[in-house]
Chains A and B, each alone.
Chain A
């Protein structure tokens, strides 16, 4: 077969697909055309706004933008693009909050090590996986020492943390702490011991019955009132407690779904071999249940990652909070779209990554089971 024939065949393949999916009837044809026009209009408007007509660090006169007055949008009202200079000027705050800039290398180091810390638990077919797993367990202590400080490093209070640092801290730590807790809760809920079972049920249903914002307020406002004067747990820590409890309740339900999908025969077979409850759970039930539960678990993780932005309501400067503080600076006022588009982009990158990972897992598990 000549190469042109292959081209014709492959072209006709696309052609067939187009006809079948987009132009199968005149109604569909009209809808397709309308959709294309719409996508073109919105897409080109956005591209012009965000890229072609936009100021980045320098405006069209070639001057470095140091305040909003230098943005071209002030010079030509009506026909201007975005002024991304605010993102450049506030880059450090978006990344580290009000963390002292001469100490920011500590945060950078942790950012750089974070992928190494989680790669071992995300993928099972990497070389030296065991060492990565060891590192995963060392990492929280290392991160605490590097970020907060201690012997040899100056202490940076958590009220200085902000931006992506707080968002990632709450997201990653919240998920990490909630995971073991949620396994216990899920097992407890299926336990035959009435007290344990009812405690778990009450906990899960109570936490799932209130919005995260209520938990955050409770942790932030009520907790200090119950504790003696002068004993004030850290603001960020309080938010972390609320986020962890919230996440563990949701994750527990996802895991319980996985547990329920394991046929009773598995447990009975294990018991007939003389395995104890914990042996059965650890070696037979959990590995299978978690496999099934991974997609819903990742789902709750994505939800939680986005929910962390609620902490701005208790005065923590997460990514969204620091963005709003940037908008309150007279130097950059009214650059709403730029700031919010940037923040959405950052959230999108992380959430999209998680969702891709969940897809990858689903595919992998399907092949594993067959």
Chain B
């Protein structure tokens, strides 16, 4: 009798669970709307890209992508819950459905895009490995680094890129192996090596903390491609579209000169693309399953790409990164969004 009873109970449980599965297999967009907030995978703290400030509010250019998506979906950029993820757990957290999107300086590579079941929807920061040296060395190009000692994190792609670069240019270097990036930074500051190499954004962030940042120079050569961008789960193209076009709206906003300050005036612009973007010409929001003012909400609450960049990592911040590759295509960079029509 008890056996039958327990069998029955387990059957009910199984059915209940499968019902729960069936219920949760809706689109991510519906799930987000039902929940009333966006779950966004963020960094555990990376200066200028994503970190909580003194008041506990998340800030950074990666964070702004999350806020843009929330503005598009809810009309309120603050409806985001940030889930801090480390580089080790970020993909599984996304795959398991704990977060709706991942926006934490993640490099878009083939294997991640294809093999890990992710979908990268764009690039919000073009990074690449660079070199920093002390100005007193008088070095102005990475080609002059023959024989230099280099602080390098062991077992990283950074290490392989470094070896490739020196080999390709027929130069030699002396490696000073360290375990972590902050250790590399400390070793460089202590003068244990001539050259400090990591992603250029990291070099700028480190330099910003030095007592005399102007004594160090980041060399112009970038030796690897590190396109960083937001990612979503594979297989939900509608949701991927929303995230992709939220980012694109920020970039197009910059192209068209729409800022959070002038977005209301721009509504009476004569440029048809501006009118389409801001939802004055209706119909584009509905294609995405959003309201027509979705891009207006992004631009008024988060701002365009340039505003986000300047606010968090631009030349007027301690991180002091020039636009470089991340300038618009018409300003000499490679930032380019497909047309809004």
**Chain A positions near chain B (C-beta within 8 angstroms):** 73-74, 77, 89-90, 92-93, 98, 101, 157, 159, 217, 220-221, 224-225, 228-232, 235, 312-317, 321, 324-331, 333-334, 336
Contacts and interface: CB of A to CB of B under 8 A. Distances in A.
17 contacts: A159-B83, A224-B92, A224-B97, A225-B95, A229-B21, A229-B97, A231-B20, A314-B89, A315-B89, A316-B84, A317-B44, A324-B44, A328-B47, A329-B52, A330-B48, A330-B317, A333-B208
Interface in B231-275: none
Given A228-B21, A231-B17, A331 B98 contact: no
Contacts, number: 110
B181 to A, nearest CB: 12
B85 A315 contact: yes
Interface string B40-66: 000111111001111010000000000
B44 A232 contact: no
Given A315-B86, A334-B209, A232 B47 contact: no
B186 to A, nearest CB: 8
B98 A330 contact: no
Nearest to A73: B211
Nearest to B82: A159
Contacts of A220: 89, 92
B82 to A, nearest CB: 8
A324 B23 CA distance: 39
B96 interface: yes
A313 B86 contact: yes
B5 interface: no
Given A224-B98, A230-B21, A98 B52 contact: yes
A102 to B, nearest CB: 12
B97 A230 contact: yes
B24 A77 contact: no
A90 B208 CA distance: 21
A93 B45 contact: no
Interface string B18-45: 1011011100000000000000000111
Interface string B70-99: 000000000001111110110011011110
Interface residues of B, number: 42
B318 interface: yes
A225 B92 contact: yes
Contact of A329 (B17, B51, B81): B51
B68 interface: no
Contacts of B21: 228-230
Given A74-B211, A221-B92, A228-B17, A325 B44 contact: yes
Given A98-B56, A325-B51, A313 B88 contact: yes
Contacts of B20: 228, 230-231
Contacts of A101: 56
Interface string B198-242: 000000010011111000000000000000000000000000000
B184 interface: no
Contacts of A313: 86, 88-89
A267 to B, nearest CB: 34
Given A229-B24, A333-B47, A315 B84 contact: yes
Contact of B96 (A157, A232, A330): A232
B319 interface: yes
Please give me the 7 A-B residue pairs with the lowest Cβ-Cβ distance, nearest first.
A230-B24, A328-B45, A224-B96, A334-B209, A325-B45, A328-B51, A333-B209
A84 to B, nearest CB: 14
B317 A93 contact: no
Contacts of A325: 44-45, 51-52, 84
Nearest to A80: B211
Interface of B: 17-18, 20-21, 23-25, 43-48, 51-54, 56, 81-86, 88-89, 92-93, 95-98, 182, 205, 208-212, 317-319
A220 B47 CA distance: 26
A331 B53 contact: yes
Given A230-B23, A330-B317, 6 more contacts: A77-B211, A225-B96, A229-B24, A232-B97, A313-B89, A328-B45
A361 B47 CA distance: 47
A20 B45 CA distance: 54
A92 B228 CA distance: 32
B25 A229 contact: yes
B23 to A, nearest CB: 7
A227 B196 CA distance: 44
A334 B317 CA distance: 15
Contacts of A235: 83, 98
Among B21, B83, B96, B318: residue with most chain A CB under 10 A: B96
Nearest to A327: B45
A230 B100 CA distance: 11
B54 A90 contact: yes
A331 B54 contact: yes
Nearest to B53: A329
Contacts of B319: 330
B44 A321 contact: yes
Nearest to B42: A315
A314 to B, nearest CB: 5
Contacts of A231: 17, 20, 24
A92 B56 contact: yes
Nearest to A221: B92
Contacts of B211: 73-74, 77
Contacts of B96: 224-225, 232
B31 to A, nearest CB: 8
Contacts of A329: 45, 47, 51-54
Nearest to A86: B54
Given A230-B21, A232-B96, A331-B54, A77 B212 contact: yes
Contacts of B205: 330, 333
A328 B60 CA distance: 11
Contacts of B86: 312-315
Contacts of B210: 334
Among A224, A230, A331, A336: residue with most chain B CB under 10 A: A230
B341 to A, nearest CB: 36
B135 to A, nearest CB: 16
